[in-house]
Chains A and B, each alone.
Chain A
Amino acid sequence: QQQVKQSPQSLIVQKGGISIINCAYENTAFDYFPWYQQFPGKGPALLIAIRPDVSEKKEGRFTISFNKSAKQFSLHIMDSQPGDSATYFCAAARQGSGYALNFGKGTSLLVTP
């Protein structure tokens, strides 16, 4: 059973545009929501994470928006660059699980020049 649903599966954005990836979850016990970036042949690397006590977190060009009532969170990449082309995974975890992550299916982002 997919605990975290992610969309879209793939995304093409022009350089300078905004990339938006959405995720939804069901388990209200989740209290940690990270986004991971994965380049081909590499392991995922943490990009940015948020906890449910805040509605937004921004780090450089990357912003997480969190809607606790809707059980949704999204990643916004401002001024998208070709170097941002990668697969992005949202995830959710709860403290009782030792923060073992439940991943979405991933979004393949291509930023065109």
Chain B
Amino acid sequence: EADIYQTPRYLVIGTGKKITLECSQTMGHDKMYWYQQDPGMELHLIHYSYGVNSTEKGDLSSESTVSRIRTEHFPLTLESARPSHTSQYLCASSRGTGNTIYFGEGSWLTVV
């Protein structure tokens, strides 16, 4: 079972608000990822990190930003939320190369 935690699980906020989705893993994984998934759709990679102070943008353009100051922590921030940001955000992590990517349970964001 994966030890990767996301908070909040569910969030409803107003347009223009700043939000941070938290992700923590206790497995000591060096690589961490954020995927975005709309209901019933595929997952799109929006950010990833190879280690502390390393962040890269994924295939899907996103207005969110991420930081990796500690190995175990990879928060995602939206400075000004919009209804188009309504989606599920999944955090994941893996160790080294060629190893399993473990997912958290997701954060459901609704912007009204």
Contacts and interface: CB of A to CB of B under 8 A. Distances in A.
B76 interface: no
Interface stretch (A14-22, A73-81, A95-103): A95-103
Interface in B39-75: 40-45, 48, 50, 58-59
A98 B50 contact: yes
Interface string A16-47: 00000000000000001010100001111110
Contact of A32 (B43, B92, B98): B98
Contacts of B33: 100
Contact of B103 (A44, A99, A100, A104): A44
A108 B40 contact: yes
B41 A106 contact: yes
Interface string A47-74: 0010000000000000000000000000
Nearest to B50: A98
Given A89-B43, A98-B31, A100-B33, A44 B90 contact: yes
A44 B98 contact: no
A7 to B, nearest CB: 13
A101 B45 contact: yes
Contact of A43 (B42, B100, B105): B105
Contacts of A106: 40-42
Nearest to B54: A98
Nearest to B1: A45
Interface of A: 32, 34, 36, 41-46, 49, 87, 89, 95, 98-106, 108
28 contacts: A32-B98, A34-B101, A36-B103, A41-B106, A42-B105, A42-B106, A43-B92, A43-B103, A44-B90, A44-B103, A46-B101, A46-B102, A89-B42, A98-B50, A99-B31, A99-B94, A99-B97, A99-B101, A100-B45, A101-B45, A101-B101, A102-B45, A102-B59, A103-B42, A103-B44, A105-B41, A106-B41, A108-B40
Which 5 A-B pairs have CB atoms at the shortest separation, nearest pair first? A43-B103, A105-B42, A103-B43, A103-B42, A43-B105
